[in-house]
Each structure stands twice: as structure tokens, then as C-alpha cells.
Amino acid sequence: MKILYSLLLSLLVLFAVPAAQAQQQDLELAREYFSQGDYAKAEALYAKLINDQRLFHVVYPDYLKTLLARRDYKEAEKLVRKTMKRYPGNPGYEVDLGLVYQASGDKAAAEKQFDRLLENISPEAVIAVANVFMQHDLFDYAEKTYQRGRQLSNDQAAYTRPLIALYAYRQKTDKLIPEVLNLLQENESELGYVQSRLQNSLQEEKNFDLLENELILRVQQNPDKLAYNEMLIWLYIQRKDFYSALMQARAVDKRTRSGGTRVMDLGAISLKNDDYQGAIEAFQYIVEEYPEGPYYLPARQRLINAREAQVQNTFPVSQAKIQALIADYEALLNEVGRRPETVEVLQHMAGLYAFYLDDKEKAIALLQEAISMPRADPALVADSKLTLGDIYLLKGEPWESTLLYSQVEKSQKETPIGHEAKLRNARLSYYKGDFELAQAHLDILKLATSREIANDAMDLSLLITDNTGLDTSTVAMEEYAAIDLLIFQNKMQEALTALDVMLQKYPGHSLTDEIYFQKASIYERRGEFGKAVENLQQIVGNPQYDILSDDALYRMAYIYEENLKEKEKAQQLYNDLLVKHQGSIYAAEARKRFRKLRGDALN
């Protein structure tokens, strides 16, 4: 008996294996027919395979797609209804029925089916149903599913994260904003998540306005929720409205007495982004509010640094204000003493003496004092050596400059200061007309971790390559590089004369736009703003000069606004830049200035 049983079992296995192989082959063939658009042959195979219980879940979705592709809606409905009876309680099949109605063009029946599903949905099925809707790009119904889930759970904070993901994906910023802020209201530790979710949604100005208005309202309604204030600070930074960010940071600090850390950070951000007044107010706040705090000394120093940057970028530069800055630095040294922490002060004073008061020997003495300061930060000592190298270049002693640059490059390998030293050596090679050596340095620096250094290297590299092509003589580029050195050495009249000679000597040369831009920069520094605008107009008005056109347009607008006080003209030019150069690096600042001139409320 046992032998007979074993024999029968062996025969069953023997026949089952070829049958399973045949079914698998039919399944692959059906899929091949479907991919080729031969739906009739695919349907015939799927109709046979669907009856096998083991293959049902594999065959069903492809069979339904095939029926819909053949527009056999009656058979498709029959398949889905039969499947719903076979597997009751599976909401995915109920969605499929609506999809069949939708495919047949019966939109009303489809909506009725979906609405019926949502009406009868259980709380446990909410996520599954929403996922099915999203798989079929029925995002409105996915949203309705989550909202229905909130009704069923009587919890308006339920399903917040999936709704946030849905709104972010669909770029429905008007719905995303209140949803993420509701999450923040429930849990202030979600601040980082909320910011990351909003990051990609704040590409349009109207979205900034939506978020700002909503945040201001919530700050007023929930004064104890500091996360909303932090969000406002973050928003203003994204918008590059550093002054408004500072106002918020100061308000929060006064309430929390947190030592001024946030204000100190914003002062540094403002200074880095050339918002000198904002930086000045930030550091002044620290000095006044926390005279015994750990940030007092760095804030005192940064306050003078910010004033220095403001003076240096207000043309023409006032000699009296330079003297006043030196006096401020001297007062700081008298207050805290000449010690390792004040090396940077000595370095700044040296720069002012050398580049603005033409007292190079005093500058060299200050830098040598900084370099020899015991226990000084090696990075500050290296930076002082770079400044000393600049001053020797100012004196016309480039061999001393390259010696100092190379020392720093060697001692500070693979650091931002080491990269800066290499960049200065590259620029020195460029000044001397040794473009091949300059490019060798620049090719390495393009990969620098510091974005600023990498960008500067790229800019100088492009200037050289664009104007020293294979079929182009390097003579004009050598002359232009020599003029760049004159400008570095503050020999402005010599540089202007040489630039005019180049315009006459090389008419239509690829350097022409660079020459006009250099002339405009020199006239701006000298306070001759009308002449600066005339030269910038040469670039803006010529479509050949596309590379520098947004730079020139922004500079013109800035001069009209800040120096010539022609607000309407400035507003027009900022608008021109936003229209013609939407991807410009100046777009954010131009938009802020345009809105201010237009009279928009920025706070």
C-alpha cells in the first residue's frame, strides 16, 4: 500500500511540474503581448490564467489593465465585482471599480463609487486606501481620505505627515503651510523637519508672503511658541531679508535672555551678505546687552569690522572715517590689551594703513607684530601673512608676496586659508601674464571646499580662457592683467588711461565688456557715478555682452538707488533684471530692493 501511495504522489509531482512551467510561460507571453500592444492575445491568455487560484493576485492587475486597454469596460467591471465578492473588505478593489467607471467616461459613477468608499471606510483602512489613490494619481481623493480619517478619529492632528508629504509633492503651498505649522504647534522639536519640508516650496515670492503672513498671525496668537519666531527668522534669512531676521532675533533674545547667540550668528550672516547696517546693529546689541558675556570681545571687534566694511563700500571712501576706524581699533586694543585674541585687530588696522592711508611701513610693522604674537591662533597668523604679502605687492615687490603666499600654502594645506594662499599665488601669476601657471593653480582651486574660493577661481579661470583662446593672441590679456594690478595698487588714474588705450587699440575685442565694467568700478570708487553709469550702459545696451549684462544692470540700479537717488529709475532697472535674468545671483537682492522701492511692506 505504501508503495502504491508513493507511486501516485510521484506521478502527481511529475505532471504538476510541466503544468506550472506552462503557466509561467503563458504569463510571460501574455506580458509580452501586452507590452507590444497585442491586447487581444494577452486577454486570451490572462482569461485562462485568472482561474488558477495560485496565480490570481499576480494575474489580476495585468488582466484588468488589458481589459481597460481593449476598452472592454463591461468585462472589466465584471472582473472587479467578482473579485470584490471573492475578497470582501479589500478597499483596493473598490478603488479599481471606480477606475473602471472613470476609464469608461462615466465620471459621475466613478465619483459616486469613490465617495461611497470613503463614507464606509474604517479608521484602520485610511492609510491603505490613500496609498491606492496615490498609486493611481488620484491625489484629491488621497487628500479626502486623510481628511475623512481625521473625522473618524476626531483628531485634527492625525495624518499630518502624510498630508504634508502630499501637499509638498503637489506643490500646494497654500495647504502645506498651515499643515506644517500645525505640526510645529503640536511639537516645537519638529522645527528642522518643518523647515526642510518648506525649503523647496519657497521658490515664488507669493509663497514667501503666504508663509510670512501666516507666521505673523500665529506669533500674535501664540506669543509663547518660540518656534514660530524661529520660523520667522529662518524665513527672513531664506528671503535674504537679514534686517527683519535680526529684529525677530533681538525680540526673542530679550524675552529669553539667552546670551545673544542667535543675534551674534545673524550679525555674522548679515556681514557676510553685505548688510552692513544689520551687522552693526546686531553686534551693537551684544555689546550693550551683555558687557560681561562671553561674546563681548568678539562683538566689539566685529562691530568695528562691520563699520569698516560699510566705509570701504561707501564711495568715495572717506579718509576721515578711515582714521576714525583706526581710532576705534586702537581704543579696543587699549581696553583689552595686545594679546593673541587681538591678532585680527592688528591685521585690520594694517590693511587700513596700507590701502587707504598709504602708510605701508606702519602696516608692515603691525603685521609683523601680529605674526610674532606668542600663542596666537595659527590660522590668524597665516591670514596676517597673506595680508603682508598683499602689502608687498602694493609696494611693487611681488617676489616677497609670492614667498609669503607660498609659506601659507605649504603650512595650511587643504584648509580654506591654504586655498586662499594658492588663489593669491594664481592671481599673482595672472598679473605677471603667466597664464599657464595661473591656470594650473586655478584648476586645483575649482574643487576647493570653500564655495567662495572655488567661485573666485572659476571666475578668474573663465576670464583667462575666454580671452586667450587657441587662435587669440595673449597680448591684450597681458595688458588687461597688468591694469588689474594697477587697480589693486590703487593707481586708478593710470588704470583708467590704460583701459581707454585698450578700447582704442583692440576695438571689438572679447575683453571689451570687462574693460567697460572695470572703468565703471573705478568711477564708482571715485564717486563719479554718472560716468560709472555711462560705462555700465555700454554693457547693458549691447546684446553681445551677455555674460556681464546682469552684473552691469544690477550695478546700475544700485547706483541710481543709493548714489544718484533716482528711485523710479532704480526700480525700473531692478524690474528689468528680474525679467531678463531670472536665474541671476542678484535676483534675490534685486527683488527685495524692487519691493522696497515699490512700497511693499517687508516686515
Please say if the pLDDT value at position 7 is more than 50. Answer: no
Cα distances from 433 to residues 31, 94, 393, 403, 475, in angstroms, run 67, 76, 15, 18, 9
Rg (C-alpha) for the chain, rounded Å, is: 35
**Position 203 pLDDT exceeds 80:** no
Given a cut of 50, whether residue 349 has pLDDT beyond it is yes
CA angle 401–403–408, rounded 5-degree value: 100
- Is residue 1 predicted with pLDDT exceeding 60? no
Show Cβ contacts of residue 36 under 8 Å, excluding neighbours closer than 6 positions: none
Question: pLDDT over 70 for what percent of the chain?
Answer: 96
Ranges 43-47, 228-232, 328-332, 569-573: which has the least confidence: 43-47
- Identity of the amino acid at 356: Y
Between 273 and 8, the more confident residue is 273
Read off the pLDDT of each residue in 534-545 and give the average, rounded to a whole number. 91
Instruction: Decide if 533 contacts 541 (C-beta within 8 A).
Output: no
d(CA 562, CA 567) in angstroms, rounded, equals 9
Question: Distance from first CA to last CA of the chain, Å, rounded?
Answer: 94
Return mean pLDDT, the chain.
92
pLDDT exceeds 60 at position 8? no
Q: Give the distance from CA 486 to its chain's centroid.
A: 36
Q: Long-range contacts made by residues 489-496, C-beta under 8 angstroms, separation at least 24?
A: 489/393, 489/394, 489/396, 490/355, 490/358, 490/394, 492/522, 492/525, 492/526, 495/522, 496/522
pLDDT of residue 14: 44
Please give the angle made by the CA atoms of 210, 212 and 217, to the nearest 5 degrees. Answer: 100
Q: What is the pLDDT of residues 468-494, one digit of tens each?
A: 865 557 999 999 999 999 999 999 999
CB 453 within 8 A of CB 420: yes
- Per-residue pLDDT band at 543 (split at 50, 70, 90): confident
pLDDT of residue 446 exceeding 60, the answer is: yes
Q: Is the pLDDT of residue 6 over 80?
A: no
Average pLDDT over residues 166-184: 93
Question: Cell 609683523 maps to which residue?
Answer: 368
pLDDT band at 3 (very low <50, low <70, confident <90, very high): low
**How does residue 601 score in pLDDT terms, banded at 50, 70 and 90?**
low
Residue 378: CB atoms within 10 A of its CB come to: 11
- The pLDDT value recorded for residue 200 is 80
| 12 has pLDDT over 70 | no
DSSP H helices, 291-377, are 296-312, 319-336, 343-355, 360-371
Q: pTM of the full predicted structure?
A: 0.79
The residue-averaged pLDDT of 491-515 equals 96
Spatial contact of 495 and 481, defined as CB atoms under 8 Å apart: no
What nine digits make up the cell of 246?
Answer: 535680526
Can you tell me whether residue 252 is helix, strand or coil? helix
Query: Can you spell out the DSSP letters for 354-415?
Result: HHTS--HHHHHHHHHHHHT-TT--HHHHHHHHHHHHHHHHHTT-HHHHHHHHHHHHHHTTTS
Which percentage of the chain shows pLDDT scores above 90? 78
As a whole number of angstroms, the distance between CA 354 and CA 395 comes to: 9
